[in-house]
């Protein structure tokens, strides 16, 4: 497995990470715990050293899963988790909360659930408009000084927030959605990250599964699957968006690869400090995703993807309106 450094921080991780959310939350019922522990450990055996979780995934159960799976491998891996939500009595999300005292409480809880002495990368999960980002960065800076956190990250933040946070405590990585069907970060975010020396960790690099080519307008999702409320996954949008999968399939055939591998290879080719974190609950998909690191896209391939992709209008918003409001602040 190739290695990459996230920005100027010098934090070296595998070129692909593993997003663990879907093992516990978001895409239907939680998967079998022992199977997921085996999958996470198989990922380490295959060279993956970067694992992504959050207290909100479950909530709490995903951190416990990741902690148990990686306990015997702690010295070989980088674990990222997140703060920034509050939860109701039944574990439901009850809004945002990035008050400094809450950040410190979350850190203590995450350390216990993960069974670790320090969080390698601690992201603000979503920007909290009620708490100045300087206060958030200051709280994480204190946790870093106490040895409880190693690096500070932001998720789905806009460039003004990134700059203001970075001035207080250097931001090591930004995690946001980025893929061939969501390219908005290319406008302002990527140039800002390059200027400041901040790494980029794209989540949903396979378009929440759509870019694998295994989802069409007839696919049905479990009632607890997040995609049921995503406009981009309405049946008519899925039908229209097959054009992008068709483009990936054409390139994949030529490269003796899969559409998913082309989508990931395209991301890896954008910048050397980009580390996608595709998630999966299946061993064969893990192997397929790892295979993307060996797929080389030439300058001509990338031009073809850009040229053909620019003619495809993606249908449907990526989030329901109320969730989109939490991003890019």
Catalytic residue numbers, as ranges: 57
- Helix ranges (H only) for 60-174 are 61-70, 100-114, 133-145, 159-168
Q: ∠ at Cα 299 (295, 300), nearest 5°?
A: 100
CA 136 – CA 106 distance, rounded (Å)? 13
Q: ∠ at Cα 17 (12, 20), nearest 5°?
A: 135
Token pair listed for 121: 């990368």
- Helix ranges (H only) for the chain are 33-45, 61-70, 100-114, 133-145, 159-168, 189-196, 235-240, 242-255, 259-270, 283-291, 299-309, 321-324
Nearest alpha carbon to residue 279 among 34, 17, 55: 17
């Amino acid at each position: 497995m190739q290695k990459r450094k996230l920005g100027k921080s010098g934090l070296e991780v595998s070129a692909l990470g593993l997003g663990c959310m879907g093992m516990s939350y978001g895409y239907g019922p939680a998967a079998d715990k022992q199977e997921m522990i085996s999958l996470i450990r198989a990922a380490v055996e295959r060279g993956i050293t970067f694992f992504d979780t959050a207290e909100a995934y479950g909530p709490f159960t995903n951190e416990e899963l990741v902690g148990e799976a990686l306990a015997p491998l702690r010295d070989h891996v980088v674990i990222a988790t997140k703060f920034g939500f509050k939860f109701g009595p039944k574990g439901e999300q009850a809004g945002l909360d990035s008050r400094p005292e809450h950040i410190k409480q979350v850190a203590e809880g995450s350390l216990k659930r993960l069974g670790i002495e320090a969080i390698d990368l601690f992201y603000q999960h979503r920007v909290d408009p009620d708490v100045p980002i300087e206060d958030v960065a200051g709280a994480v800076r204190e946790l870093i000084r106490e040895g409880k956190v190693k690096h500070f990250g932001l998720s789905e933040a806009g460039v003004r927030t990134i700059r203001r946070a970075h001035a207080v405590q250097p931001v090591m990585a930004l995690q946001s959605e980025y893929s061939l069907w969501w390219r908005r970060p290319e406008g302002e975010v990527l140039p800002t990250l390059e200027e400041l020396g901040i790494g980029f960790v794209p989540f949903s690099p396979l378009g929440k599964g759509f870019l694998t080519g295994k989802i069409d307008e007839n696919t049905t999702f479990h009632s607890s699957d997040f995609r049921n409320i995503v406009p981009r996954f309405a049946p008519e949008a899925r039908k229209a968006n097959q054009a992008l999968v068709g483009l990936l399939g054409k390139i994949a055939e030529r490269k003796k690869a899969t559409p998913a591998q082309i989508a990931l290879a395209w991301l890896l080719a954008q910048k050397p400090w980009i580390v996608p974190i595709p998630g999966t609950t299946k061993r064969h998909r893990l192997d397929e995703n790892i295979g993307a690191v060996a797929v080389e896209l030439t300058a001509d391939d990338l031009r073809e993807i850009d040229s053909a992709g620019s003619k495809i209008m993606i249908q449907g918003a990526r989030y329901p309106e109320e969730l989109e409001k939490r991003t890019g602040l």
